[in-house]
Chains A and B, each alone.
Chain A
Amino acid sequence: MSGQLVTFVPIFVFIAILLGFVITNLVLAHTVGPKKHTPVKEMPYESGMDPVGDARQPFDVKFYLVAILFLVFDVELLFLYPWAVSAYVEGQHGKYGEPLSATHLGHDSPGIPYELRGTVFGVMLVFVATLAIAYVYAWRKGVFKWR
């Protein structure tokens, strides 16, 4: 074994454990698990929809509402993440609390300039508050009740 490959040993061990875990579980489930065949269980899985029949059946709007709400919070995270990462980065353009000077401006700094931090923080608060209002609205309108 060459010297460089030794560094990868943990990864090989990891792959072995991973494969062993999956295979063991599959085999165990196949041999030990009880087998009760019902017509519903025999059907191909189609996200809760009936896979056999007319393709033009009405689709419950509840799925759509939940998907939209999921998307809202998904996008929220997408929006919060860059801010959280770059909001308080230090050292790139002066320490936190130190005003921006001309020497710092030339640098490619990932952080938000000190002068703008207050504004950006306010913007983020407004953003989260707006989403909270949307959430309260959806909750009160009964979107989360799976009737």
Chain B
Amino acid sequence: MFQHLTSAISQVLPEVVFLAAACVNLAVGPFLIGDDGTGPKGLRHRWGAWSLIALTIAAWLQCVPAPVVEATGLAPFLSDSLVSFVRLVTTVTGVVLVLINWNQIEERDSAESHACLLFILAGANLIALSNDLIILFLALELVSIPTYLFLYVARRDRSGQESTLKYFLLSVFSSALVLYGFSILYGVAGTTNLTALHLVFKNHQLTTMPAMLLVSIVTIVAGLAFRITAVPFHFYAPDVFQGTANSAAALLSVVPKVAGFIALVRILGQPSITAAIHLEYWSLASKSGGLLYLLAVATMFVGNLLALLQTNMRRLLAYSSIAHAGYMLVGLSVAVSVPQINDDATAASAGSVNGLPALLFYLGVYGLTTLGVFALIASLSRPERPLETISDLAGLSKTHPAGAFLAAVLLFGLTGLPPTAGFLGKLTLFLSAWSHSTEGRTLAICLAINAAIAAWYYLRLIGVMYLQSSCDDTRRATGVPAFVGVSLCAVASIALFFAPDWLWQALQRVGS
């Protein structure tokens, strides 16, 4: 009867590898730097390689199927196809982030920085694995607390400190909101176990919906909307992205979004279509649909319109990441609400796309492309010759042709143009919203309008790189590890366009 407790360890082996490797960093790291606080030359290479080894071992363990545990419903962890997807995303994200971080970090800080990264990756995986509100909250904190350290260690000057403090205070506040929502949820349902929680609502054990449940939905969505930078909670992102190091901005643009969306998917659950036929049916998912709808529309428009005004690269990418959060919220809003049941929709549903796989596919594709852009900035930026503003990009096609080409590919991906996976991502999101309901069609139209707005500022960057000339025509130096990351992202985003099936097939199983 205790199988689900004793076997819990075997379900989280890849995460244990991450945590163990990070503990080694913290235990050994301080002894490798001298008493004067300076590290020997080449220390960052060793820690970078160590992180890659940990990632490889974890990836190998992920391929080994976990022992099948009899589903008791009380298990603290839940291994399903969503978990395998999130593990895939965090592994790829982790490799690219380690490569970006490789030369960004000073020798003396390399152990701590890589340890934080490994903690964050383990936390992101545990969010997907958790089947309990308490474990979910701990996993969310395992992502956010090392993030504060990572932000601080990556850049220690005044602007770095300012952005760290801004992120810290707002993130702590959002964690408190999430926790408040969880406590209300527990008070209403009487259990912290997510499977049991959804069963309570599904089986009509509460005849009328308690009004407090709406409060808890609002606070949970608001707290997690901070992490995914949805619009009323987005205002910190541009400042933090601009003030912090490239590696930290890359981390913030992807990992908190994965964390927030997966946590929302886990908490809200999915609507059951058979139960929706009964009029009195309600669930966390169906009650939050309207809220997510509003968030999606506001996030898309605000993110894209403000991105048009930016001149700083990282600030532009911050607004771009807000806009992409809006696109993903379209997928989530569609995934949590019950499809409209009419003849038109059922006729279309034969070829229709479910919201959840579309959201997850877009999450992966967005992560790849945006990490690639940050890796490019990290690779080509030098203190004496920075890539800070858009005008710094001028003439990049002459000063670094390969970098300019890869940047163009990645920006095509962010715009959503073929032949990159970004096109398929936007297409599936659009189709899932269009085939869903009347509200879904409004969302789909908003998405199309915003994709067009976004094309302006992404293509403007490509124009600056290829059509304007730089005042300094000497070749830019390349930071090799980060450039490997750029190539990886660019190649993967093209490869996913031509062979999307292997990921898409895996994602189809998530929804069912």
Interface positions of A (Cβ within 8 A of B): 113, 115-116, 119, 130, 133-134, 136-137, 140-141
CB closest residue in chain B, given A113 = B2
Chain B hits for A119, CB < 8 A = 2, 5-6, 9
10 nearest A-B pairs in the assembled complex, by CB-CB distance: A140-B30, A133-B27, A137-B26, A115-B2, A119-B6, A133-B23, A116-B2, A141-B30, A136-B27, A133-B26
| Cβ-defined contact, A137 with B5, below 8 A | no
Interface presence of B31 (CB below 8 A): yes
Q: A130-B23, A133-B23, A133-B26 are in contact. Are A116 and B31 (CB under 8 A)?
A: no
Taking CB atoms and an 8 Å cut-off, the chain B residues in 30-70 that contact chain A are 30-31
CB closest residue in chain A, given B111 = A137
Interface string of B1-20 (1 = CB under 8 A from A): 01001100100000000000
| Cβ-defined contact, A134 with B5, below 8 A | no
**Cα-based distance from A119 to B6 in the complex (angstroms):** 7
**Cα-based distance from A130 to B142 in the complex (angstroms):** 15
Chain A hits for B6, CB < 8 A = 115-116, 119
Interface positions of B (Cβ within 8 A of A): 2, 5-6, 9, 23, 26-27, 29-31
Chain B hits for A116, CB < 8 A = 2, 5-6
24 examples of A-B residue contacts, CB within 8 angstroms: A113-B2, A115-B2, A115-B6, A116-B2, A116-B5, A116-B6, A119-B2, A119-B5, A119-B6, A119-B9, A130-B23, A133-B23, A133-B26, A133-B27, A134-B26, A136-B27, A136-B30, A137-B26, A137-B27, A137-B29, A137-B30, A140-B30, A140-B31, A141-B30
Min distance, Cβ A147 to any Cβ of chain B, angstroms:
13
Chain B hits for A140, CB < 8 A = 30-31
CB closest residue in chain B, given A136 = B27
Min distance, Cβ A140 to any Cβ of chain B, angstroms:
4
CB closest residue in chain A, given B24 = A133
Chain A hits for B27, CB < 8 A = 133, 136-137
**Cα-based distance from A113 to B6 in the complex (angstroms):** 12
CB closest residue in chain A, given B6 = A119
Min distance, Cβ A106 to any Cβ of chain B, angstroms:
13
Min distance, Cβ A76 to any Cβ of chain B, angstroms:
16
**Cα-based distance from A134 to B27 in the complex (angstroms):** 8
Chain A hits for B26, CB < 8 A = 133-134, 137
CB closest residue in chain B, given A115 = B2
**Cα-based distance from A137 to B32 in the complex (angstroms):** 12
Chain A hits for B30, CB < 8 A = 136-137, 140-141
**Cα-based distance from A136 to B30 in the complex (angstroms):** 9
**Cα-based distance from A116 to B3 in the complex (angstroms):** 9
**Cα-based distance from A137 to B23 in the complex (angstroms):** 10
Min distance, Cβ B134 to any Cβ of chain A, angstroms:
15
**Cα-based distance from A4 to B301 in the complex (angstroms):** 81
Min distance, Cβ B476 to any Cβ of chain A, angstroms:
37
**Cα-based distance from A22 to B44 in the complex (angstroms):** 61
Interface centre among A113, A133, A137, A140 (most CB of B within 10 A): A137
Q: Contacts A140-B30, A141-B30 given; 14 further ones with Cβ under 8 A?
A: A115-B2, A115-B6, A116-B5, A119-B2, A119-B5, A119-B6, A130-B23, A133-B26, A134-B26, A136-B30, A137-B26, A137-B27, A137-B29, A140-B31
